Amino acid sequence: MFITVGGGRLYEKAVSIESCDISGGGLCFETRSKIPLSAESKIIMGRLGDLPGSALIEGRIVYRRKQKGTERYTVGVEFIEFVNTTRDEVLHHIDLWCKKERATPDKSGD
């Protein structure tokens, strides 16, 4: 995932769906960058199910929480506009991915 936030500065962050919260309304991710609140953002998500190419979504930073004892932040993004995909397509691919993950046996032996 790539996120551009105000002024064109690029923050790059690879986010695993297992470690972030994503829905049709937005997503959250972790970063060391103190991203400004209410900043407009463009989100490019790749490799989400079988979405063709990368999904481009415009959003807005709605929260930034400092994690206790670390130099990291949890950042929430509200989706504002789906540019080359739709909210329904994103939700459909999230649902398919979750079902596939639940059906995959745990290889840890636990």
Domain containing residue 76: CATH number: 2.40.10
Residue 11 in domain: yes
Q: Which domain holds residue 57?
A: 2-99
Residue 99 Rama label (left phi>0; alpha psi -120 to 50; beta): alpha
Q: State the pLDDT confidence band at 84, using cuts at 50, 70 and 90.
A: confident
Task: Yes or no: say if 94 and 22 are a contact pair by the CB < 8 Å rule.
Answer: yes
What is the per-residue pLDDT across 9-41, written as a single tens digit (0 to 9) for each?
Answer: 666 555 443 346 778 899 888 888 888 887 777
Residue 87 lies in a domain: yes
Separation CA 45–CA 51 (nearest Å): 9
Asked whether residue 110 is domain-assigned, the answer is no
Cα–Cα distances in Å, from 5 out to 26, 49, 59?
Answer: 15, 25, 9
In this structure, is residue 108 part of a structural domain? no
Per the CB < 8 A criterion, the answer to whether 30 and 73 are in contact is yes
Residue 40, CA distances (Å) to 3, 47, 61, 107, 110 in order: 10, 23, 7, 40, 43
Domain presence at residue 106: no
> Has this prediction a pTM greater than 0.75?
no
Give how many domains the chain has, as a whole number.
1
In a domain, 107, yes or no: no
